[in-house]
Structure formats: C-alpha cells, structure tokens
C-alpha cells in the first residue's frame, strides 16, 4: 500500500509558481519574484492536507533602504501589529489577540520570531465581543509580514486552516 501526503518544500525555485497558486487576496503583499537585491533567501510552503492547514512563507534579507521603505508601506496597510517575538499561539492569546504565524523560515527548531521583529497582519480585526464562535480556531486564515529593521529582514506569510 502506498500513501502520498503533500510535503513541505523549501525549494526557492518553486516560489513563483507556488505563490501563483494562492488566492491573490492572501498573497497580494508578496513579491512576484525574489528580489535580486536579497542576500538571505529562505522559503517554506505546504499545500495543506485534509484538516491540516496550508502555508507559504518567504524570508529575505534586503538592503537597509528597501527595508525602511517596506516598513513604511506595510505599516500603513496593517490592521494590527505585535511588537517583538512570539508566534501565533502567543499573538492569539493576548488581549484582543489575532492569529499570525510560526517562524517557519527561522533556524531549525525555532518557531517564535526574535524580539526585534514587528509582526504586522492584514486581516480584519474583530473585537472579541463580535467574533463568530471558532472564528480564529476553526477554518481561518492569516496573512501579513514580520519585519526587523535591526536585521534588515522581512518575512512574508499567508496561512489557511
């Protein structure tokens, strides 16, 4: 008997095609191609399977000026921001929390963002009193960026579950 499960990939060459498969509403903020100016380039993609969620995440190190410009642009687009570290479990469980993501493009075994990252989301922020039951825990989505002006890094992400 043979079982075939979708697997996570880190193959950066597949990035443009895999990005194109996503709902454009969730990946509008991702670059269409990896910028030539990027030095560090890490990628993680999983298509999801049955009840398992799908994700796409791209981590880039860019020149300081580009990071500064991206920070300005995205800070005007974000609906909520978390300063420093954590991951989706932490961000969902603080007062008026929202799901974000895990640090899938971090070093092996590292699931939380370092403290110098600002995590910005682009999803609708529902006041706790108006959230539909299970809204964030069952069949949700999250998309945004994490950015560090200290490291000159940006991480683009989108997730569905």
Residue 131, pLDDT score: 62
Parse the chain into domains and list their residue ranges.
25-160
Exposure class string for 28-47: b at 16+ Cβ within 10 A, else e: ebbbeeeeeebeeebbbbbb
Q: Which residues of the chain have pLDDT under 70?
A: 1-6, 49-52, 128-139
Contact in structure between 138 and 109 (CB atoms under 8 Å): no
Token code pair at residue 91: 């961000």
Residue 130, pLDDT score: 67
Residue 137, pLDDT score: 56
Token code pair at residue 130: 């108006």
Residue 49, pLDDT score: 67
């Amino acid at each position: 008997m043979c079982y075939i499960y979708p697997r996570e990939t880190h193959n950066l060459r597949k990035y443009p095609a895999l990005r194109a498969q996503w709902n454009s509403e969730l990946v509008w903020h991702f670059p269409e191609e990896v910028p030539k100016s990027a030095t560090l380039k890490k990628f993680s993609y999983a298509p999801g399977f049955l009840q398992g969620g799908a994700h796409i995440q791209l981590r880039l190190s860019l020149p300081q000026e580009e990071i500064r410009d991206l920070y300005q642009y995205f800070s005007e687009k974000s609906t909520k921001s978390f300063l420093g570290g954590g991951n989706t479990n932490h961000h969902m469980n603080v007062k008026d929390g929202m799901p974000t993501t895990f640090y899938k493009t971090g070093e092996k075994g590292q699931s939380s963002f370092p403290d110098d990252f600002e995590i910005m989301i682009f999803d609708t922020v529902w006041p706790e009193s108006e959230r539909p039951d299970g809204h964030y825990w069952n069949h949700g989505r999250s998309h945004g960026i994490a950015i560090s002006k200290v490291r000159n890094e940006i991480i683009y992400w989108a997730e569905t579950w």
